[in-house]
């Protein structure tokens, strides 16, 4: 079979299996998840042997230490996969929830029932633990899923796929509910993106290049975020201690992730005092500042920012800094340079807090909190399958509910339309 | 300017105007809507003069009587546009609604705020009243909108556009919140579909050809339905009087619309009595039956159905009929041939009613009610901008809320992430 035929067959089987996934009782879904957790523990040696093949090939290919780290299925990583499975099993099943049930003038009762989306395809890079995390969430939400991990993790992913499919089979469910694409051929991704007759949603996770490729070539709806250029605005009456703590935490607690801070905007009124106050602490934390001319004048350790700095996702210990006239200029800057990921204001002003929350168009908008909280776990979603920075269907961290939709249900007693 | 440049500029202006639309106070939005209603009344002669130009051109082009009817802005149609505007003005503003606000273990309060989608483009055929209906809903939901009506309605649509834009300007709002594409050139649609940097959502309304063209060529997410192949399943213990009334109403009350019934499935146990019972009434209503061999044996007036009949949206007084063994065969038939629009079961069985509601994957699933109820107005949505039969973002009739999304909002008091 050609790659196109293989993918097309997988998609058809997934669509077929999606009906079984949608009507699978909660207890059966949970038993599958717990069985996978148990088997990960039992087969840890086999998994790590397969993982070692990927690691060896990766070292030969000269992958960076960071890449090798992400690829490694250490005991600790496998433990966290097991914990994740148990957590997803413990979440309330979203499927079948009925809401908004109201009687209409005609006498019919109209409400909405939460249902699975159908077939979801995940395309991701490197980390093989995504295979388990994504499969668990998609299954719990009643979907079938097709997983396409990075080529450098193929042995690890296939070992995990076997455990997932064996667990489904052991509970009498179709194994095609969870499928891993068995080839590293790049053509498989292209073929996947044209299966709009069978696949309902594509979720790419990884670098901007991968995500752009998927978004530009997919005939299927895509939930995605390209990057996180997150902003903090320090208002004229901000509590300096609070502001400095939030800036430091947002920027330096884990600089390599998408909800880390990239640009600080400071109200002109407080800049002369606040910039040296926070600048000193940022320098101690190893953070380099790239600022506008006003920032440079007020905190001489600042490097000059050029026009490109306002749009950059550094993902390292660099912070762009700009002095602004007021909240309006801050919000204009965010509208022009933000990535609709996460922005926070530090203020004691009720009016400005309310304006910022209402007027800033980002998937997460915060008052007096670190941008690092923009995360499904921290938001109480239970688990997160990704973050969307486009507005259709989901905006922000996506949990179980975002892998479902709602249909209308009507309870009548013989009503007809006049 | 080329058509591409014109459309690209309209899209950029819409994106710019969307920020103003998003933060427009409810009372201003409502004043614009009421002003439009008043001006429609005041300028009725001008509108009908412009409409007459379209009607004259349409008659010269040899449009069918049905097309001319849809194109005509009679006093009655304008009255209903005015009523529609007042109804939309009376609806609760969905923008800014906060829900699901909960305190998280970190101490932050996390909730969701309803916000506009941004810029919506509507592409539709024939009926110029859609220009007013769609503009009203998009504005009330805080969006900017670009409207592209049928070329045969261009004079009518531009006259309505002027009233809409004048009303915005009179209330101090940017006129670019509502724009009508001023050319009938087909290239304008192609150009519109590539403005993914500025437009958030495309809603096509019209024939299957238009919708397929939009879906296949759009780089922007599309909410759509191709057709409504709606089913009714008459169960073994259905109340015959109720079942017949529902079948008749679903099929014949208005056969030309998407929520009209196209296929009746009858349980084998009751087919010998029910088919003659309903067949006689359907014949009296002028409905022709196309059935399987069992149907033909039980009700000889039935024509033979061929394989294509099970997938057809007749939109006229023809009904496909099939005898099935049980609810499972009925649901399998719906899964194979349905269009995810609307299906209804007529049954006295609690268990089968529950199974049908849960297991049938359509945007509207009903018990003991006419499929003709699948409509935003009948569902209490206040007004309807269209119906979606794909699951992402909206599934079923779409009202004001479906023209919005939700962002996460976080209220902190200085929290940072551990």
The mean per-residue pLDDT over the stretch A347-371 comes to 97
Q: Let me know: does B418 contact B116? Beta carbons within 8 Å.
A: no
First to last CA, chain A: 56
Smallest Cβ–Cβ distance between A201 and the set B104, B108, B392 belongs to B392
Q: Do residue B367 and residue A396 have CB atoms under 8 angstroms apart?
A: no
Distance CA B391, CA A57 (A): 41
Q: Do residue A361 and residue B19 have CB atoms under 8 angstroms apart?
A: yes
pLDDT tens for each residue of A210-262? 999 998 899 899 998 889 999 999 999 999 999 999 999 999 999 999 999 99
Residue A58 C-alpha, separation from nearest chain B C-alpha, in angstroms:
33
Q: What is the DSSP string of B387-418?
A: EE-S-SS--EEE-SGGGEEEEEEEEEEEE---
Q: Let me know: does A349 contact A238? Beta carbons within 8 Å.
A: no
Smallest Cβ–Cβ distance between B414 and the set A246, A364, A391 belongs to A246
3 state DSSP class of B352: helix
Distance CA B72, CA B156 (A): 9
Q: Do residue A370 and residue B416 have CB atoms under 8 angstroms apart?
A: yes
Q: Is the dihedral of CA A323, A329, A335, A341 positive or negative?
A: positive
Going from the C-alpha of A61 to that of each of A56, A57, A152, A153, A187, the distances in angstroms are 9, 6, 9, 13, 21
Q: Do residue B408 and residue A221 have CB atoms under 8 angstroms apart?
A: no
- Tokens representing B396 are 């079923």
The mean per-residue pLDDT over the stretch A120-129 comes to 91
Burial (Cβ within 10 Å: 0-12, 13-18, ≥19) of residue A248: buried
Q: Do residue A380 and residue B245 have CB atoms under 8 angstroms apart?
A: no
CB atoms within 10 A of CB B237: 13
Q: Do residue A410 and residue B245 have CB atoms under 8 angstroms apart?
A: no
Residues of chain A found within 8 Å of residue B407, distances taken between Cβ atoms: 361-365, 395-396
Q: Do residue A369 and residue B22 have CB atoms under 8 angstroms apart?
A: no
Chain B residue with minimum CA distance to A372: B417
What pLDDT is recorded for position B69?
Answer: 92
Q: Let me know: does A192 contact A121? Beta carbons within 8 Å.
A: yes
Confidence of residue A89 (pLDDT cuts 50, 70, 90): very high
Count of alpha carbons within 13 angstroms of residue A197, beta-carbon side: 10
Confidence of residue A125 (pLDDT cuts 50, 70, 90): confident
Burial (Cβ within 10 Å: 0-12, 13-18, ≥19) of residue B42: exposed
Count of alpha carbons within 13 angstroms of residue B170, beta-carbon side: 16
Identify the residue among A20, A415, A418 best suited for mutation to test binding to B, counting B beta carbons within 10 A and taking the highest: A415
Residues of chain B found within 8 Å of residue A230, distances taken between Cβ atoms: none
Backbone angles phi, psi at A92, to 5 degrees: -65, 135
Beta strand A261-267 pairing with B386-388: unpaired
Beta strand B342-346 pairing with B230-234: parallel
Distance CA B140, CA B25 (A): 10
Distance CA B21, CA B142 (A): 5
Distance CA A324, CA A301 (A): 19
Smallest Cβ–Cβ distance between A373 and the set B364, B378, B410 belongs to B410
Q: Let me know: does B109 contact B410? Beta carbons within 8 Å.
A: yes
Q: Residue A288 is inside which H or E element, if any?
A: strand A288-291
Q: What is the DSSP letter of B25?
A: -
pLDDT tens for each residue of A258-282? 999 999 999 999 999 999 999 999 9
What pLDDT is recorded for position B92?
Answer: 96
Residues of chain B found within 8 Å of residue A106, distances taken between Cβ atoms: 373, 378
Backbone angles phi, psi at B304, to 5 degrees: -75, 130
Chain B residue with minimum CA distance to A20: B359
Residues of chain A found within 8 Å of residue B417, distances taken between Cβ atoms: 249, 253, 370, 372-373, 378
Return the closest-CA partner of residue B291 out of B280, B275, B277. Answer: B275
The proportion of chain A whose per-residue pLDDT surpasses 90, expressed as a percent, equals 94
Q: What is the DSSP letter of B59?
A: H
Q: Let me know: does B285 contact B252? Beta carbons within 8 Å.
A: yes
Identify the residue among B387, B410, B413, B414 best suited for mutation to test binding to A, counting A beta carbons within 10 A and taking the highest: B410
Smallest Cβ–Cβ distance between A407 and the set B363, B405, B407 belongs to B363
pLDDT tens digits, chain B, 418 residues: what are they? 899 999 999 999 999 999 999 999 999 999 999 999 999 999 999 999 999 999 999 999 999 998 999 999 999 999 999 999 999 999 999 999 999 999 999 999 999 999 999 999 999 987 899 999 999 999 999 999 999 999 999 999 999 999 999 999 999 999 999 999 999 898 999 999 999 999 999 999 988 899 999 988 998 999 988 899 999 999 999 999 999 999 999 999 999 999 999 999 999 999 999 999 999 999 999 999 999 999 999 999 999 999 999 999 999 999 999 999 999 999 999 999 999 999 999 999 999 999 999 999 999 999 999 999 999 999 999 888 999 999 999 999 999 999 999 999 999 999 999 9
Distance CA A374, CA A37 (A): 27
CB atoms within 10 A of CB B303: 15
Residues of chain B found within 8 Å of residue A110, distances taken between Cβ atoms: 373, 378-380
What pLDDT is recorded for position B388?
Answer: 95
Q: Let me know: does A41 contact A82? Beta carbons within 8 Å.
A: yes
Q: Residue A115 is inside which H or E element, if any?
A: strand A109-116
Distance CA A164, CA A178 (A): 7
- Whether the pLDDT of residue A105 is over 80: the answer is yes
Residue A23 C-alpha, separation from nearest chain B C-alpha, in angstroms:
7
Burial (Cβ within 10 Å: 0-12, 13-18, ≥19) of residue B251: buried
Domains of chain A with CATH codes: 3-224+396-410 (3.40.605.10), 230-373 (3.40.309.10)
Residue A397 C-alpha, separation from nearest chain B C-alpha, in angstroms:
9
Q: What is the DSSP string of B187-221?
A: HHHHHHTT-TTT--EEEEES-HHHHHHHHHH-SS-
User: B154-170 and B26-42 are packed helices; what angle lies between their axes, rounded to 10 degrees?
Assistant: 130
Backbone angles phi, psi at B318, to 5 degrees: -130, 140
What pLDDT is recorded for position A66?
Answer: 87
Smallest Cβ–Cβ distance between A200 and the set B221, B253, B392 belongs to B392
What pLDDT is recorded for position B202?
Answer: 96
pLDDT tens for each residue of A302-347? 999 999 999 999 999 999 999 999 999 999 999 999 999 999 999 9
Distance CA A50, CA A155 (A): 5
Strand order in the sheet with A318-324: A303-304, A288-291, A318-324, A261-267, A230-234, A342-346, A364-369, B404-415, B109-116, B98-103
- Whether the pLDDT of residue A208 is over 90: the answer is no
Identify the residue among A18, A391, A403 best suited for mutation to test binding to B, counting B beta carbons within 10 A and taking the highest: A391
Burial (Cβ within 10 Å: 0-12, 13-18, ≥19) of residue B115: buried
Q: Do residue A372 and residue B108 have CB atoms under 8 angstroms apart?
A: no
Chain A residue with minimum CA distance to B95: A358
User: Which of these ranges, A117-121, A184-188, B135-139, B309-313, has the smallest mean pLDDT?
Assistant: A184-188
The mean per-residue pLDDT over the stretch A24-43 comes to 98
Distance CA A330, CA A233 (A): 7
CB atoms within 10 A of CB A222: 23
Chain A residue with minimum CA distance to B23: A359
Smallest Cβ–Cβ distance between B410 and the set A364, A395, A408 belongs to A364
Q: Let me know: does A288 contact A305? Beta carbons within 8 Å.
A: no
What pLDDT is recorded for position A275?
Answer: 98
**Any idea of the CA torsion for A215, A217, A219, A225, to the nearest 10 degrees?**
-10
- Which residues make beta-bridge pairs with B291? B304, B321
What pLDDT is recorded for position B396?
Answer: 97
Return the closest-CA partner of residue A250 out of B410, B329, B234. Answer: B410
Distance CA A310, CA A320 (A): 7
Residue with tokens 């947002």, as numbered in its chain: A250
Predicted structure pTM score: 0.93
Identify the residue among A392, A398, A411 best suited for mutation to test binding to B, counting B beta carbons within 10 A and taking the highest: A392
- Which residues make beta-bridge pairs with A206? none
Q: Let me know: does A201 contact B392? Beta carbons within 8 Å.
A: yes
- Whether the pLDDT of residue A126 is over 80: the answer is no
Distance CA B389, CA A304 (A): 53
CA A26, chain centre distance (Å):
25
Smallest Cβ–Cβ distance between B373 and the set A118, A221, A417 belongs to A417
Beta strand B98-103 pairing with B109-116: antiparallel
Residues of chain B found within 8 Å of residue A115, distances taken between Cβ atoms: 361, 391, 395
pLDDT tens for each residue of A366-385? 999 999 999 999 999 988 99
């Amino acid at each position: 079979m050609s790659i196109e035929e293989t993918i097309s067959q997988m998609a058809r089987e997934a669509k077929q299996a999606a009906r079984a996934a949608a009507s699978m009782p909660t207890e059966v879904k949970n038993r599958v998840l717990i069985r996978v957790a148990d088997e990960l523990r039992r087969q840890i040696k086999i998994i790590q042997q397969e993982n070692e093949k990927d690691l060896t090939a990766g070292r030969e290919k000269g992958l960076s230490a960071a890449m090798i780290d992400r690829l490694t299925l250490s005991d600790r990583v496998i433990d966290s996969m097991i914990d994740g499975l148990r957590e997803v099993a413990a979440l309330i099943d979203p499927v079948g929830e009925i809401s908004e049930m109201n009687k209409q003038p005609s006498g019919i009762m109209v409400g909405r029932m939460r249902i699975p989306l159908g077939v979801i395809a995940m395309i991701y890079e490197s980390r093989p633990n995504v295979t388990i995390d994504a499969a668990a969430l998609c299954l719990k939400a009643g979907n079938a899923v097709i997983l396409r991990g990075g080529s450098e993790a193929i042995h690890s992913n296939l070992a995990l796929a076997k455990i997932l499919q064996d667990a489904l089979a052991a509970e009498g469910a179709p194994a095609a509910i969870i499928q891993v694409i068995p080839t590293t051929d790049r053509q498989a991704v292209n073929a996947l993106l044209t299966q709009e007759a069978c696949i309902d949603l594509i979720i790419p996770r990884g670098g901007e290049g991968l995500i752009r490729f998927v978004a530009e070539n997919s005939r299927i709806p895509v939930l995605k975020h390209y990057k996180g250029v997150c902003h903090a605005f320090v208002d004229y009456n901000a509590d300096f201690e609070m502001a400095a703590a939030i800036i430091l935490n947002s920027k330096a607690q884990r600089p390599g992730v998408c909800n880390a801070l990239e640009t600080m905007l400071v109200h002109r009124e407080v800049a002369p005092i606040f910039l040296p106050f926070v600048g000193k602490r940022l320098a101690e934390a190893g953070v380099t500042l790239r600022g506008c001319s006003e920032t440079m004048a007020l905190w001489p350790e600042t490097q000059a920012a050029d026009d490109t700095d306002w749009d950059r996702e550094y993902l390292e210990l660099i912070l762009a800094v700009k002095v602004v006239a007021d909240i309006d200029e801050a919000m204009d800057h965010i509208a022009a340079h933000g990535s609709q990921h996460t922005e926070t204001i530090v203020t004691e002003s009720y009016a400005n807090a309310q304006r910022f929350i209402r007027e800033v168009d980002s998937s997460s908008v915060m008052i007096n909190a670190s941008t690092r909280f923009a995360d499904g776990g921290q938001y109480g979603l239970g688990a997160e399958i990704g973050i969307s920075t486009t507005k259709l269907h989901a905006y922000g961290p996506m949990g179980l509910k975002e892998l479902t939709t709602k249909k209308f249900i009507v309870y009548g007693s013989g009503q007809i339309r006049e």
